[in-house]
Amino acid sequence: MTTLHDWATVAPQKPALIQAESGHVITYGELDARAIRAAQWLVSRGLEAGDCIAVLVENHPGLIEIASAARRVGLYYTAVNTHLSPAEAAYVLKDCGAKLLIASPAMLPLVEAVRAADAHALDLPVFVLAGASNLPPGFEAYEAAISAFAPDATLPARPVGRDMLYSSGTTGHPKGIRRPLTPYEDRDKPELEIIAWRRAFGFDENTVYLSTAPFYHAAPLRYIMRTLDVGGTCVAMAKYDAEGALAAVERYRVTHSQWVPTMFVRLLGLPDEARRRYDLSSMKVAIHAAAPCPVHVKQAMLDWWGDILYEYYAGSEGAGTTSIGPLEWRKYPGSVGRASAGVIHIVDNAGNELPPNEVGMIYFSGVATFSYHNAPEKTRSAYNDKGWATYGDLGYVNEEGYLFLSDRRADLILSGGVNVYPQEIESVLMQHPSVADVAVIGVPDPELGEVPKAVIELRDGKAATPDLAQDIVDYCQGRLGRLKLPRTVVFDERLPRTPTGKLLRRELKDRHREQPHSGHAVRTGRA
């Protein structure tokens, strides 16, 4: 398997990364030289294979440079969500066991807030990428740190490093997804999912890939790294803008791109004049995932862009993958495709494998294992007694092996392609002095797909008012990320629970999803 270093050797002047808005180019030669310097620096600090570093940056090329360095010297790298609250970010930094943190100048206010929120973070060395004029006490310059090392040194023979990213957890804390490192002697053997990825979407050295989403998400980060492995060029947007994305396709002659359904909704909402303004003829493959795409939305995109839409179903865990092309989807609308990595199994509650067209839990076999960091019970719950792994979703396969999702994880809310777990929100809401009981459900939203709605049982003597609803949400500000804030609050006299205290969430959803925005609409700072 070729690597960034191989391409830097044969084509050092080829663009590796392009910043979409500014047009700034980083060549393969430049990126490789900086990654080698950074890798040496990491080794010099005593980091051993299997150690973890953390990176807190916006869509900054520094993350790709650092990830490339970490891969070369057997380190895990955790890209921290830039929209986490200080307490959430502090938890991730502590839980992943980061030996150091690299941050951009733009993220310094969050880093300082993290330090104020958690004593552990005070002892974590912090290095700041170029651009900060005056570093606060206790912060060091990343550029000065790596400049002492040569751009062409020989690196130690270590396993291949990889990402360790965090997804929201049902217990109130994000969970790190940790997969085994590839041994040094197997470094040239591509993983099954990468083989499937190339086969499904045709990435190669001629690819110009548009990244529209935040780098800290699994798919954008991994697709950029894979594109560099095959010698393509990555065009990265600083922040998603519908018309800006169309302009980038035209300007850079983009061949491959990746989207989530929310982005499609915003694209379709552009005026006809804007939609017709840009030449999109270079685009061969437009990939989408992260959330179920409404059939009518995908059909509208196919009508506009033609048969270039490709969909996949997967997860950060890498438990298995399905994919489907446009012609297949036209034949089986609503399907997320057939298995492209692993083997699909649909299983009932008793653990029996089900025949076609019967709904059950979706499992995969035949793919590399994973674990949730510091969460052995959660890891065990992801596997059955046969060793098959699940994302926790329900669905069925038809006679031809095409997978259809019936429901996402029982409690999961997918908002703008981001996983939001109700229990995490509930654990914060329950701390409000007026709240006696609470349940959070996802309700339809035309732009984001779903948004959180809080159903609250008040303590005795508390009156249900719009002001109280707003106060409850204001209480969550700073304790939860923006997408996790309830958009609507409704008060119930009594939440539906069994005699044993189990929340009847389905009953609650049936009651409140029909009128998604009934209750008190609240201000959440939504963009």
Multiple choice CATH, 27-178, 3.40.50.980, 3.40.50.2000, 3.20.10.10, 3.40.350.10 = 3.40.50.980
96 contacts 373 by C-beta, under 8 angstroms: yes
Q: How confident is the model at residue 517 (pLDDT cuts 50, 70, 90)?
A: low
pLDDT value for 522:
64
Q: Which fold has domain 208-407?
A: Rossmann fold (3.40.50)
Ramachandran sector of residue 375 (left: φ over 0; alpha: ψ -120 to 50; beta: rest)? beta
Question: Does pLDDT of 2 surpass 90?
Answer: no
Mean pLDDT of 244-272: 93
Question: Does pLDDT of 170 surpass 50?
Answer: no
Question: Does pLDDT of 499 surpass 60?
Answer: no
Residue 194: how many CA atoms within 13 Å on its side-chain side?
16
Q: Going by DSSP bridges, is the β-strand pair 162-163/76-79 parallel, antiparallel, or unpaired?
A: parallel
Q: How confident is the model at residue 409 (pLDDT cuts 50, 70, 90)?
A: low
Non-local (6+) Cβ contacts of 296 within 8 A are none
pLDDT value for 172:
55
Question: Does pLDDT of 363 surpass 80?
Answer: yes
What is d(CA 353, CA 343) in angstroms, rounded to the nearest whole number? 12
pLDDT value for 269:
86
Give the domain ranges of the chain: 27-178, 208-407, 413-521
pLDDT digits (tens, 9 = 90+) for 327-352: 999 999 999 999 999 999 999 989 99
Whole-number average pLDDT of the chain: 90
- Please name which of 70, 139, 156 lies closest in space to residue 103, comparing C-alpha atoms: 139
365-369, 448-452, 489-493, 511-515: least confidently modelled range: 511-515
Fold agreement between 27-178 and 413-521: no
Instruction: Please give the model's pTM, rounded to 2 decimal places.
Output: 0.81
SS3 category, 277: helix
Highest-pLDDT range among 9-23, 74-88, 104-118: 9-23
Q: Which CATH architecture has domain 413-521?
A: 2-Layer Sandwich (3.30)
Question: Does pLDDT of 523 surpass 70?
Answer: no
CA 144 to each of CA 127, 128, 138: distance values in angstroms, whole numbers, following the listed order = 10, 10, 15
pLDDT digits (tens, 9 = 90+) for 193-220: 788 888 889 999 999 999 999 999 899 9
Mean pLDDT of 158-168: 91
